[in-house]
Amino acid sequence: MNGILNILKPTGMTSHDVVSKVRKILNTKKVGHAGTLDPNVAGVLVICVGKGTKFSDILINGDKEYVCELKLGQKTDTQDSYGKIIEEIKEIPDLTEEQIINVLKQFEGEHLQVPPAYSAVKLNGKKLYEYARENIIVEKPGKPVNIKELQLIKFEQNRILMKIKCSKGTYMRTLCNDIGDKLKTLGHMGILIRTDAKGLKIENSVTLDELKFLNDNNRLNECLLPVTKVVPMEEVFVDDSFFDKLIVGNEIHYDTEKITNDEFYIYCKNELIGIGQKKENNKIKISKLLM
């Protein structure tokens, strides 16, 4: 049983909770996730099964897409609706959609983002939320993020609904907090839904109940995606005689001019055995074994 699942994570569950549920449903231990979602966040959670777990590092690096609610007028210690209100204003400035769009555009592109105090980012071997719980103030280093798209969906009263496409590790809570400051008011994150991760879209996701139904009725193939579909690469087929050399990490001769990309799938003995890379003197080798 190998592949990738596009699971619709509900609010109230941790990513680890979802992994545990999938293990029980599929009756297999080799299950992991690629990209954590906080318990209060819903949406696409990429679940890797069997050999799919070997792709978690590739999948976690993909772009993410969110629908995010920004609530104006309050700042919280966690930068979301679950935190303690630490600052509040009675009257929110009159804002136009044009003003909001202009501010959102300022956050597009590459920049440094300072992670929230209540986060799992480590500083000197200790997680930031551990410092925060002990009321220890630390200087948090900025982290490079890339916000590729930031669109206004809707604005009414004190609520701004946005669509965000960004690199991994971007904190939506911090983005909401910073946008609120830029609008010369206060803000924190309300509802957050991940709608896309590495090309896996929310409209194609399945719930845990749906996964159980499909598995119980021998229809798992309807939702368990081949890794080659989720992570498409060029395919290279080599002679069966090279099998023993490749799987122990040795290089083999191959006409590398026939290979277009730096990374590619290597097939041998009619099966996918690894991700390959080009070497000097018309040689290739496996950089990641997939057996």
Pick the CATH number of 3-62+199-229 from 3.90.76.10, 3.30.2350.10, 1.10.540.10, 1.10.3720.10: 3.30.2350.10
Q: Helix H segments across the chain?
A: 15-26, 56-60, 97-106, 128-133, 172-182, 208-216, 227-230, 243-247
CATH superfamily of 67-192: Pseudouridine synthase (3.30.2350.10)
Amino acid at 184: K
Residue 9 contacts residue 43 (beta carbons within 8 Å): yes
pLDDT at residue 113, rounded to an integer: 85
pLDDT of residue 57: 87
* Residues forming the active site: 38
Per-residue pLDDT tens digits for 92-116: 888 999 999 999 999 999 988 877 6
- Which pLDDT tens digit goes with each residue over 227-280? 999 999 999 999 999 999 999 999 999 998 889 998 999 999 999 999 999 998
Same fold, 3-62+199-229 and 233-289: no
Rounded to whole angstroms, the Cα distance separating 116 from 119 reads: 6
Per-domain residue ranges of the chain: 3-62+199-229, 67-192, 233-289
């070997």: which residue's tokens? 54
Identify the pLDDT of residue 238.
93
Specify the pLDDT at position 93: 86
Stretches in the chain below the pLDDT threshold 50: none
Show the CA angle centred on residue 21, arms to residues 205 and 1, nearest 5°: 70
> Residue 169: what residue type?
G
Q: What is the CATH T-level fold of the domain 233-289, as seen in this structure?
A: 2.30.130
Q: How many residues does the chain have?
A: 291
Rounded to the nearest 5 degrees, what angle is found at the Cα of 254, between the Cα atoms of 253 and 258? 165
Positive or negative: CA dihedral 145, 151, 157, 159: negative
Residue 291: per-residue pLDDT: 81
